[in-house]
Amino acid sequence: MSAIHLAFTDWVIIAIYFAFVLGIGVYLKRFTRSQEDFFLAGRKNSSWVAGLAFLSANLGALELLGMTGNTYKYGMYVAHFYWIGAVPAMLFLGIYMMPFYYSGRIKSVPGYLKLRFDEKTRVLNGVAFAVMTLLVSGINLYAMALVLHTFLGWNWDVSMWTSAATVAVYVTMSGLMSAIFTEIIQFFLIWSGLFLVSVLGIVEIGGVREVFHRVPAAFGTLWSTSADASLNGMAVTWGGIVLGLGFVLSFGYWTTDFLVVQRAFSAKDLRAARMTPILASFFKMCVPFLVIIPGLIALILSKDPSTGFALLSDGGHINYDSALPLLIVRYYPIGLVGLGITALLAGFMAGQAGNISAFNTVWTYDIYQSVINKKASDKHLLWMGRVATIVGIMMSVGTAYWAKSFPSIMDYMQAIFSWVNAPLFATMLLGMFIRRITPSGAFWGLIAGMGSSVTMFLAVKFAWIDARVITMSGVASDMAANFWRAWWAWLICFVVTIGVSIFTEPKPDSELVGLVKGLTHGEKTDRLPWTKRPEFYAILSAIILVILNIYFW
């Protein structure tokens, strides 16, 4: 595909966006006076500000290009990532886990592990998270390069470095504060810029009912074909969906991944922190309209030769992630394409900024201050955070080229999450709810969980074993293998952690106050009207979730 012609108005829209983002970084730098301002945005945000940033940090390349491409590849089953694969975990974080996080005034998730367990567990998770974040960060650079390459015909290298330089500038200036502000702007840009893709696609196909009528039967349902892996596009059974995605991967990401949890830490009080993921859950349930519908439309168009629609290919392999950019080219007239491009760039930069702001925090507090310079001053930590931002961006460029080698960035993402987040959730769950879990149990459980996940990934990748051994079914897609590998990693970590804890010494209760169920006093909500309590909104979100799953059964 050759580069398309952009009108002057398209260039103006794109230029205004970049100037605005950089301007925010320059403006907010004057308010970034301490390391708490840089890493936690001063803990001043309302639940709405933190909630929109919470969702926007996740609304990057994975959501926009990855989910649209995977809908083309797997069908309606991709909606599981939004509903059972996100909302329950977000509600659990807000209702049960946030009091443990927030009451200790910790600055990162590894920081909780230090208080609950010990320094070695904190450093282990800090290093694993830093590596994972850099790998994920590369996805956003690759995705932005894909857009610029698709629309403008720019060189891949130029596109990646342009994206990297822009994020580096505004995050380096004011850290999480500028990241959150730009994420909120990007949230609205994404919706205004991509909403029309679904609407125009539905109009061309002939209505929503016609969209689902024209896709294969295996691509149009959520649960009715989940009893047999051979009957659905993702080739996974309900067991893999519920245990692997709905439980382990979902809870592992939404409750322990510092990329999103950091936004809740920036809330002004405990109630605002608890409401952050709960409010975000309502918007999360709506995101499929931006990605699932376009993915199905792209599938329908590509199967009809008369439409002239076809995805890009790279090295003889279909590039599923090109579906959304190509739909924008198809539907948006000259003069409006700039808005679509800006919406995509906003998503990628939101995800990139989220990853880098999380990376610089974990590196500075949980690796640098913990291991290298324990007596670092406030001013020095602020300087180190800015240095870590630049270094992290440069390293992300390298991981972007690895991401480019995957046929789908979603497959790449789920593989990474199964390595780190899946076993970490077992550690966090046990640590928060069982006092008897020991520091040694947590450390060796994490080692066993992460080691087993990476080993299973390599064993399948290099054909040492068949993926069907892991999925326990007659067929196995890459995504099914990711789901089941996450479950096994979680289970191994869970069992080893308990086993080692039985034979090792736990910490005394006096050191666990505010960190474990039964020793933590959360916010008092008895005097609040029931319509203002986090539990009320969580129940409302859960009811909508159940209705959606039944409707698309």
Taking the alpha carbons of 231, 233, 239, 241 in that order, is the dihedral positive or negative? negative
Mean pLDDT of 32-51: 65
**Which CB contacts under 8 angstroms, 24+ apart, belong to 387-392?**
388/359, 388/360, 388/363, 388/364, 389/168, 389/171, 389/172, 389/175, 389/356, 389/357, 389/359, 389/360, 390/168, 390/172, 392/133, 392/134, 392/137, 392/356, 392/359, 392/360, 392/363
Site of tokens 């698709």 = 150
DSSP 282-313: HHHTTTHHHHHHHHHHHHHHHT-GGG-----E
Rounded to the nearest 10 degrees, how much is the dihedral formed by the CA atoms of 285, 290, 295, 298? 160
What average pLDDT does range 165-184 have in this prediction? 67
pLDDT top residue among 268 and 24: 268
> 14 is written with which tokens?
């794109």
Tell me if 410 sits within 8 A of 70, measured CB to CB: yes
Question: For residue 117, what are its two tokens?
Answer: 């367990």
Top-ranked range on mean pLDDT: pick from 360-374, 419-433, 533-547: 533-547
User: For residue 448, which amino acid is it?
Assistant: A
In the structure, what pLDDT confidence band is assigned to residue 2 with cuts at 50, 70 and 90?
Answer: very low
pLDDT, tens digit (0-9, with 9 covering 90-100), for 252-267: 888 877 777 777 777 7
Mean pLDDT of 404-430: 74
Domains delineated in the chain: 8-26+64-551 (1.20.1730.10)
Pairwise CA distance, residues 330 & 327, whole Å: 5
Band of the pLDDT at 385, cuts 50, 70, 90? confident
pTM over 0.75: yes
